[in-house]
Chain A
Amino acid sequence: MVEIESFFIDNEEIKLEAEFFQSSSDQTSAVLVCHPHPQIN
């Protein structure tokens, strides 16, 4: 069963919607994925 956490990350006064998958075997490494422009893609 894969669990994805959904939460908000605070950036000063802004809240960023986020999803995080936590590895069960390696908690020291992670990948951050950045999405394309909302008005182009």
Chain B
Amino acid sequence: MEFGGNMRNNVVSAVFNIFMSNDISCLRFNFRAVGRSTGSHSSGRGELSDAKACIDFLITNKQVEKIFICGYSYGAAIGCSTVSHTERIIGYASISFPWDFMGAKYKKLSQTDKPKLFIQGDRDDIANFNKFQDHFEFYNNPKAFKIIEGADHFYWGYDTQAADEVFKFYQSII
């Protein structure tokens, strides 16, 4: 098992695997400068472009008509911020959106009238649980949240539970 912030992260893999096991197409990728991806880390701007390139790939190369975004931590800030990139994005699931780390830009970019789910661990002190409700209130309906009791930011032992919540939400909106 690999550790760290890449496409084989435990939470990312749990989400990828639950969709795959339910025969739903799923794409995961490494942001620039991660794994075998080329380029240099750019603290968000370039990574936002990377996520949009993946969305465009799904539309152009795989002829996908409906795209659901799921992001975890930094990936939530980036991925959910692409929600208005195309009407083909039907909604998103955010796992531990690091609002206070990432600044107001990504909170604003992730605002949408599309369905969205926010998953949060009640022991998370990086995407701080104590501030979760305030951030959640910012978002337009339709929206939902799920608190994973006992989970900190890394979701060890809770990654499958988080992925299951993402899948159930996807099923509810598709």
Contacts and interface: CB of A to CB of B under 8 A. Distances in A.
Interface in A3-23: 4, 8-23
Contacts, number: 189
Nearest to B18: A31
Contacts of A2: 20
Interface in B60-75: 62-75
A31 B173 CA distance: 13
A32 B67 contact: yes
B7 A35 contact: yes
Given A21-B19, A32-B58, A11 B53 contact: yes
B170 interface: yes
Nearest to A29: B66
Interface residues of B, number: 61
Contacts of A40: 5, 73-74, 126
A32 B19 contact: no
Given A9-B57, A19-B7, A21-B19, A34 B51 contact: yes
Indicate the size class of the contact surface on chain A.
35 or more
Contacts of B63: 27-28
A36 B20 contact: no
A32 B5 contact: no
Nearest to A5: B27
B75 A34 contact: yes
A1 interface: no
A29 B64 contact: yes
A26 B26 contact: no
B112 to A, nearest CB: 15
Given A25-B23, A29-B174, A41-B5, A35 B28 contact: yes
CB-CB nearest 4 A-B residue pairs: A34-B75, A34-B79, A36-B73, A37-B74
